[in-house]
């Protein structure tokens, strides 16, 4: 079974998943709303979301017929703490991280 950090960094390696995380920084979203800006099927977005859920970066909840997605920033904090152990990185400022994602992803 992969280590939690392996799952987190593998999830962050994909640009679509990083874009999804950026979108979820703003607010919780229905899966269909997450899928709307992408030129791929709902099934493909669902697979990306499954990777993010497995990494602990996103949680999903069913409300009636709609599945809602929520960002879980604690997983990002775990990755940040790991990187800080190398002494080369400043503590992660999630507000700065959000600004970076917005700038990089549009």
C-beta of residue 14 within 8 angstroms of C-beta of residue 44 = no
Range of the domain at 97: 4-105
Domain count, the chain: 1
Q: What is the CATH number of the domain that holds 44?
A: 1.10.10.10
**What's the pLDDT tens digit per position in 27-49?**
999 999 999 999 999 999 999 99
**What's the pLDDT tens digit per position in 63-88?**
999 999 999 988 888 888 877 776 65
């Amino acid at each position: 079974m992969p280590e939690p950090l392996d799952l987190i960094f593998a999830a962050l390696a994909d640009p679509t998943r990083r874009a999804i995380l950026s979108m979820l920084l703003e607010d919780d979203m229905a899966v269909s709303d997450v899928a709307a800006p992408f030129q791929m099927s709902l099934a493909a977005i669902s697979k990306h979301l499954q990777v993010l859920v497995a990494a602990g970066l996103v949680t999903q909840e069913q409300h009636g017929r709609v599945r809602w997605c929520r960002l879980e920033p604690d997983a990002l904090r775990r990755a940040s703490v790991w990187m800080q152990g190398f002494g080369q990185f400043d503590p992660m400022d999630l507000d700065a991280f959000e600004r970076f994602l917005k700038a990089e992803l549009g």
